[in-house]
Structure 1
Amino acid sequence: MTNPNDDTNFSRRLLLGGSAAAVGVGLVGLGGQPAVAAPAAASAKAGQRASVRAAVSFLRGVTDAYRDSGPRLAQSYMDASGLNDIGFIYDNALTTCALLAAGDLSRARAIGDALLWAQSHDADFSDGRLRQAYHADSLGYPDGPAHFGYEFGLVGTAVGDMSWTGIALAQLARRVPRGDYLAGAVRIGQWIVDNTYSTTGLGGYTFGETAGLEDHKSTEHNIDVYGFFRLLARLTGDGRWNGRAQHALKFIEAVWNSDDGFFWTGSDDGAAINKNPLQLPLDVQTWFWLSVGRGKYAKSLDWAATNLRSTDTPLRTNSALTGHDTFTGAVFASGTVRTDVKARVGGTEDWRPFPNDGGVWFEGTGQLALALRKRDRNGDLAASDALLATLRDSQEKLGDGQTFGGKRIEGGIQAATSPIDTGFGFAYHPHLHTAATSWYVMAATGFNPYSFS
């Protein structure tokens, strides 16, 4: 089992470039490029190594929160989030990839095994689909059926979640000769083709089988499908997966806004592009570069770094920050910075939060840091390092006292600085989050989950 205090797993990947990571985010925005003396750079490198070790230790601790052996899932958010022990499959796919980036194959396999088990132990379906979320504490293993998160209406199957699970299984299949990871990934890919391949409207792949969204087509989902199917083509040697990936790419290119240099979020009916000014998301821009990376669309990252950024301070309306804490990073979408701070997100119930229009989304901050590092144009490494510094700073200052499975587990990254409005009817909160932590680990180690490089 990997020692969480061992530097060995990070020596090859950590600090792939740039010395600007030593600079505080309060002084540097997304594009800052200050000079840093050699001693400060060395100190920053040591600090980042320790920070990534702590983040990986957090992911290991959450994975082991309910049991430390056998197939198991990681709880997505801290105990008091209102979601209890729910583990979203997207979050668990990311946790798998982050653990692989850190060299912890044992725990990555434990999550992969749990996802495979859930895939084959659904009470209602035997076609390879997975639900959006399952219970980490009471998954149902080994006697089943899989205990999915029906309490929160999470009974649907979305193409993006399925693709991310397939990506995680593909990454495992590349490292483990055992054939069931690849078989599980292929089942997921075939389910996507059989159930969501569209020849009408904008083409591409539909949202999946989620009530009310069946005809929607998400740019993000098609980006995921493209990357996932390309991995399947590499693993299986079956060129048909490349052709199926190209079908997703045609949809993605159809929703490119050439005038402003960004990708639209998708389509609500599968034919007309959704141009809602409150629904221009970050992840579509960052994930495109990681999944597809075609240079003619490179300015989508510049659009995101310019328009989808914010600084949260204690004096922002509805900020959860206190004292002297301030963070500059990415936001979820245009709706985050244009939200009505006097209206609760998603409804009027008392439990819904009032949003902060300056809140920083740490998961997206990690995504942007990795995408900029992979693009590696003038100023990109410095901008990426500044974002990583934001995440390290948040790791040190935020999330104190939050628990998973009743256990206080240190080293994680919150979902956001303050409650934020995504613009899509739901919020992110200042809760420790496995996905935000995983994106930080992948960004800091240069691990691109969409590729085998």
Structure 2
Amino acid sequence: MTRRSSTPSRRTFLTAASGSAAALLTGALATPAVASTQPGRAGRPGRPVRPGWPDGDPAASVGRAFAFLDAKFDEYGTGDALRVPRSYTGGFFETPTWTFVSSFAYDDALMIIAWLGRGRPGDVHRATVLGDTLLYAQDHDPIGDGRTRASYQPDSFTPPTGNLDIGSPAAYTGNQAWVGMAFAHLYARTRHHRFLDGALRAADWIQRHTFDGTRAPYGYTGGRTADDQPNTYKATEHNIDTGAFFTMLARLTGKQVWRGRAAVAFSFVDAMRDRAGGHLWTGTDPDGVTTNRTPIPEDVQTWAYLATLDHRYSGSVDWVLRKLTAHDAGVSGVSFSDTDVSKVWLEGTAHTALAVRTRAARGDDRRAADLLRNIERAQATTPVGDGRGIPAASSDGLDTGFGDTYYASLHTGATAWYLLAALGHNPFRLPR
């Protein structure tokens, strides 16, 4: 799912978190980087290597973040039991009489890729079990056409003989691509063909249900609504996700048809570039043609670079550093969109940290280190935290501009993105 006014949110509820007073980012955050004309380099995947950390030091913050993901995954089962973790913990999502327990497929996909990024035997086992759970959801979906759904309910999700409890039944294109990318990473690591089969089913679903070669700019539309009606807008984020996913399939299968389809998705992304402003627009209106110009989100700016490593999108990363810098509750980073920069979006801050670390232009090492240190500060100081999980943002009430509000809760997706950034592990690219 995508966070757009005409594009329902990737996660029906969004979270944020607050932190206590601490030093703000240095001026390095807001200073535009020098664009690199070469594909980015990154620290070796599997362990945190960045300025201020001794090479090989596992870093206590990273260890605590992995412990948080492990605990969330084991909340509703252990060992080889198929299960999904709840995405949000604490704050707005937990009261004395109500707890929001939904598990969002996007977050689950990120957890899989983060575990594989570190790659310890226990990590690979957990990633495999969660991958098998998503395969089960795909195989046992009531429509049964290769889709997965936006969210599932972990407290009543009881395969293999029990209930497949769907939380949000929407099937958004971006979610299908993220689940597919998780399957692709699992196949690349384990060589278990069931994961490649699941990835191909997800890709075929995207191609059958969302490809638009009629309304220029051509690309992929938003998927299916909760009542299984077509979403006719095209989202830049969805096309980034789809392009990256199809590129993975081209590599894994050797079939060039996937590379051609990836090129269509990335051509839509290129069509959304605003050359004058240096950023990407969010996508189109439901007519599939008219550009949606309000608001301008962070994720498509950094994801376009991470997915392509194309220097043309280096300017979009710089736009985030110039326009979305935010300071709140002792934490600094970037916000969700240009609608509201009063609070820090920690997930987006991790996107940006990984993008500048991967780009490695002049000053980017320092920018990445500053961004990561601020995420660690939020991990340690958020009032609803446990010292392990990462909140999605710095405090309650962050307005995304797309009809969603962030609340102060710990988030598996934000935690996984932090780990990906700390490890230098790009989820949009298969390891070499």
Task: Please state how far the C-alpha of 1:137 moved relative to its aligned partner.
Answer: 2.0
Q: 2:76 aligns with which of 66, 69, 82?
A: 66
Q: 2:408 aligns with which of 406, 416, 430?
A: 430
Task: Please state how far the C-alpha of 1:421 moved relative to its aligned partner.
Answer: 0.6
Q: Which moved more, 1:293-302 or 1:208-217?
A: 208-217
- The alignment status of 1:87 with 2:103, answered yes or no, reads yes
Q: Which moved more, 1:133-142 or 1:443-452?
A: 133-142
Task: Please state how far the C-alpha of 1:155 moved relative to its aligned partner.
Answer: 1.6
Within a 5 Å distance, the mapping from 1:319-398 to structure 2 comes to 326-337=330-341, 358-398=342-382
Using the alignment, how far apart are the partners of 2:383 and 2:213 within structure 1? 46
TM-score by length of 1: 0.80
Using the alignment, how far apart are the partners of 2:128 and 2:319 within structure 1? 37
Task: Please state how far the C-alpha of 1:199 moved relative to its aligned partner.
Answer: 1.2
The one-letter code sitting in structure 2 at the alignment partner of 1:208 is G
Using the alignment, how far apart are the partners of 1:180 and 1:226 within structure 2? 22
* 1:390/1:32 CA distance change after superposition, 3 Å: farther
TM-score by length of 2: 0.84
Using the alignment, how far apart are the partners of 1:142 and 1:399 within structure 2? 38
Partner of 2:238: 221
Using the alignment, how far apart are the partners of 2:214 and 2:325 within structure 1? 35
Q: CA RMSD in A?
A: 2.1
Task: Please state how far the C-alpha of 1:25 moved relative to its aligned partner.
Answer: 3.7
Task: Please state how far the C-alpha of 1:203 moved relative to its aligned partner.
Answer: 1.0
Q: How many residues align?
A: 379
Match of 1:215, SS? strand
* 1:48/1:30 CA distance change after superposition, 3 Å: farther
- The alignment status of 1:116 with 2:135, answered yes or no, reads yes
Using the alignment, how far apart are the partners of 1:183 and 1:387 within structure 2? 38
Task: Please state how far the C-alpha of 1:27 moved relative to its aligned partner.
Answer: 4.5
The one-letter code sitting in structure 1 at the alignment partner of 2:160 is P
The one-letter code sitting in structure 2 at the alignment partner of 1:433 is H
Q: 2:222 aligns with which of 201, 204, 207?
A: 207
- The alignment status of 1:450 with 2:402, answered yes or no, reads no
Retained in 2: the 8 A contact 1:29–1:328? no
Partner of 1:284: 300
* 1:170/1:46 CA distance change after superposition, 3 Å: closer
Retained in 2: the 8 A contact 1:25–1:387? no
Q: Deviations over 1:214-259 (max 9, x none)?
A: 1111000000000000001111111100011011011111111001
Q: Deviations over 1:327-381 (max 9, x none)?
A: 11011111123xxxxxxxxxxxxxxxxxxxx110000000000011111101111
Retained in 2: the 8 A contact 1:31–1:382? no
Retained in 2: the 8 A contact 1:92–1:111? yes
Q: Deviations over 1:133-176 (max 9, x none)?
A: 00122113112452110xxxx22100001100000110000011
Within a 5 Å distance, the mapping from 1:14-413 to structure 2 comes to 25-27=24-26, 30-31=29-30, 49-69=59-79, 70-78=81-89, 81-82=92-93, 84-103=100-119, 104-122=123-141, 124-149=142-167, 154-201=168-215, 202-210=217-225, 214-268=231-285, 269-276=287-294, 279-313=295-329, 326-337=330-341, 358-400=342-384, 410-413=387-390
Which 5+ residue runs of structure 1 have no aligned equivalent? Answer: 1-22, 34-40, 314-325, 338-357, 403-408
Using the alignment, how far apart are the partners of 1:53 and 1:240 within structure 2? 40
Using the alignment, how far apart are the partners of 1:284 and 1:242 within structure 2? 21
Which 5+ residue runs of structure 2 have no aligned equivalent? Answer: 1-21, 33-50, 94-98
Higher relative contact order (CA 8 A, sep 6+): 2
Match of 1:429, SS? strand
Task: Please state how far the C-alpha of 1:200 moved relative to its aligned partner.
Answer: 2.3
Using the alignment, how far apart are the partners of 1:443 and 1:294 within structure 2? 19
Partner of 1:355: none
Q: Deviations over 1:158-216 (max 9, x none)?
A: 00011000001100000112210000000000000000000122210000001577111
* 1:140/1:377 CA distance change after superposition, 3 Å: same
* 1:204/1:328 CA distance change after superposition, 3 Å: same
Match of 1:438, SS? helix
Match of 2:332, SS? strand
Match of 2:340, SS? helix
The one-letter code sitting in structure 1 at the alignment partner of 2:379 is Q
